[in-house]
């Protein structure tokens, strides 16, 4: 791990997953169709993970783009995926801090799917994305929301929220976009099955890694996670926490 990187546990947990959020292949493809991507459109994907959004949309829609991610392992995986899909001449992946990245040219679409921590929340992330956007361009932001009001602090903590106010419910989130001066023009939401696929894939990755690395310094920490997370998911996150990607145009 370099000075600018994610902890090793992230790489272990995500394993061979290509989409590092509660979307599946079908939902990612649906999103690409729904926002009516045009051939040659330019995209900046901040916190691009393993590059599945950029690589599959370059293949399916003929877009070009740049992905920026702090993880050296994820960036390497994204470059390999671009080569695998034959789109390495249309997309590139940069190891760096997405919060401070400045593109060489403004883009048609700026995305941050599942990492609004780079701006300290939705409003700050929208400001970061807008700096990269050409006039009339579109923003994509992926963010959690409360599907059901958490009844107690135990539920809030079980959903990995620092407080009840960290997330809004869906009407509150849509209202926040408006308060920030954006029109919501499309959305694709995760469902309980896609949450299950993402969460359960972590458990299998963790178990296989633990079986292969019983003496590793991370074994104790990741053993606790595997013991606790399935119950946390079915008791709290699955019913209370939603997640979606929202397409916005500046008013």
In a domain, 132, yes or no: yes
In a domain, 217, yes or no: no
The tens digit of pLDDT for each residue in 166-195 reads: 999 999 999 999 999 999 999 999 999 999
The pLDDT assigned to 50 comes to 98
Number of domains in the chain: 1
| Backbone conformation region of residue 89, classed left if phi is above 0, alpha if psi is from -120 to 50, else beta | alpha
| Residue 145 structure tokens | 């929301």
Supply the range of the domain harboring residue 19. Answer: 8-146+163-191+242-250
pLDDT exceeds cutoff 70 at 1: no
Average pLDDT over residues 4-19: 95
SS3 159: coil
Percent of the chain exceeding pLDDT 70 equals: 99
> What number of other Cβ atoms are within 10 A of residue 56's Cβ?
19
In a domain, 207, yes or no: no
pLDDT exceeds cutoff 80 at 3: no
CATH of the domain at 25: 3.40.50.150
In a domain, 219, yes or no: no
The pLDDT assigned to 2 comes to 53
Residues sharing a CB contact under 8 Å with residue 7, sequence separation 6 or more, in sequence order? 1
Euclidean distance between CA atoms 15 and 222, whole angstroms: 13
In a domain, 230, yes or no: no
Percent of the chain exceeding pLDDT 90 equals: 98
pLDDT exceeds cutoff 80 at 162: yes
């Amino acid at each position: 791990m370099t000075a600018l990187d994610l902890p090793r546990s992230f790489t272990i947990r995500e394993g061979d997953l290509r989409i590092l959020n509660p979307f599946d292949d079908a939902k990612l493809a649906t999103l690409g169709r729904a926002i009516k991507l045009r051939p040659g459109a330019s995209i900046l994907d901040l916190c691009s993970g393993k590059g599945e959004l950029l690589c599959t949309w370059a293949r399916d829609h003929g877009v070009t783009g740049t992905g920026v991610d702090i993880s050296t392992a994820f960036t390497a995986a994204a470059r390999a995926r671009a080569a695998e899909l034959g789109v390495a001449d249309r997309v590139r992946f940069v190891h760096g801090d997405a919060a401070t990245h400045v593109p060489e040219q403004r883009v048609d679409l700026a995305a941050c799917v599942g990492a609004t921590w780079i701006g300290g929340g939705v409003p700050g992330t929208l400001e970061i994305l807008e700096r990269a956007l050409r006039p009339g361009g579109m923003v994509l932001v992926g963010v959690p929301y409360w599907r059901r009001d958490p009844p107690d602090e135990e539920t809030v903590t079980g959903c990995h929220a620092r407080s009840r106010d960290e997330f809004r419910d869906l009407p509150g989130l849509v209202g926040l976009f408006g308060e920030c001066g954006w029109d919501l023009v499309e959305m694709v939401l995760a469902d309980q099955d896609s949450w299950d696929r993402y969460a359960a894939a972590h458990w299998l990755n963790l178990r296989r890694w633990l079986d292969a690395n019983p003496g590793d310094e991370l074994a104790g920490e990741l053993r606790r996670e595997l013991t606790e997370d399935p119950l946390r998911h079915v008791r709290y996150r699955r019913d209370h926490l939603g997640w979606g990607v929202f397409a916005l145009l500046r008013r």
